[in-house]
Amino acid sequence: MKLSGRVACVTGSVRGIGWEIVQAYAQEGAKVVICDLHRSDVDRAVEQLGLSGEKVLGVKADVTVEEEVVHLFRGIGEKFGRLDILVNNAGFAWPRGGPIDLEIVDTPFEVWLKVLNTNLTGTFLCSREALKMMRAQGYGAIINISSPQGKLGKALRGPYCAAKFGVEGLTQVMSLENSSYNIRVNTLNPGGIVATEAIRKIPGNKGKKMLSPEVIKPCAVYLASNEAVGITGRSFVASEWNGQHRIEVAYTIA
């Protein structure tokens, strides 16, 4: 198994892309940390994963709150004594419950802050704490989940584009600052719209062909494993990577 003995934390991991990555890492032998906003969701995900207690940790944490992030990584250290892989997945294009599809001129400040705080500040806070552990042990891999909108702006997605462009830049900075510590930092985006629970609920999306969340799994495993030694500061597109490696690109109908 490619991740045997490794410890991996995935934020926003009770559903969607995060849940697919957690399952993939567990199947490859990793001990996993499930982190999300609501205790009941975390507990349910831990139960569904079906791992023995020494191989899984479930933590309720808001990645935008510094104290909760510090508590998350302290708990990882106390239980496992190390952290090998961090996937910064927690994020959304618009707050749950809306509003959505706003031009910048109509975007309330509180909406701007919610989107940037989760997607970008959360990535910063979690990466900062993870890097402290990874530097001490002389090894680590950080994977920041990005989006096609982190490279090409899209109308009505102002806060999300700004956040994901920021994630791409932050990834490059962290790669430059930490390669001498044997820590790899890369971004990974699915390559298009993924039929997550939230996306399926948006009016007008029903019946559309979209990427299935599991599209992210093969490249996420690759970037976390020894196969990617020396790969850092790069930006990967999961659907393209799958195609290049003759892995079927998974689609579904929303």
Going by pLDDT thresholds of 50, 70 and 90, the confidence category of residue 215 is very high
Mean pLDDT of the 174-185 span:
98
Cα 64 to Cα 149: distance, rounded to the nearest angstrom: 21
Cα 110 to Cα 7: distance, rounded to the nearest angstrom: 35
Cα 177 to Cα 142: distance, rounded to the nearest angstrom: 13
pLDDT at residue 97, as a whole number: 86
pLDDT above 80 for 203: no
Percentage of the chain exceeding pLDDT 90? 92
Q: Are 236 and 186 in contact (CB under 8 A)?
A: yes
Residue 112 tokens, joined: 């701007």
Mean pLDDT of the 163-185 span:
98
The alpha-helical segments, DSSP class H, found in 81-213 are 109-116, 122-137, 158-178, 197-200
Residue 119 tokens, joined: 């997607």
Would you give the distance in Å from CA 170 to the centre of its chain? 14
**What are the phi and psi torsion angles at 232 (to 5°)?**
-155, 150
Hey, where are the domains in the chain? 7-253
| Residue pLDDT, tens place only, 65-114 | 999 999 999 999 999 999 999 999 999 999 988 899 999 999 999 999 99
| Residue pLDDT, tens place only, 219-240 | 999 999 999 999 999 999 999 9
Q: Are 26 and 50 in contact (CB under 8 A)?
A: no
Residue 48 tokens, joined: 């569904």
Q: pTM higher than 0.85, yes or no? A: yes
Going by pLDDT thresholds of 50, 70 and 90, the confidence category of residue 202 is confident
Cis preceding-peptide flag for 213 (omega within 30 of 0): no
91 closest CA partner among 68, 118, 125: 118
CATH class of 7-253: alpha beta
Catalytic residues: 160
Mean pLDDT of the 31-58 span:
97
pLDDT at residue 96, as a whole number: 87
Residue 69 tokens, joined: 């992030």
| Count of other CB atoms within 10 angstroms of residue 133 | 21
Query: What is the sign, positive or negative, of the torsion defined by CA atoms of 80, 83, 89, 95?
Result: positive
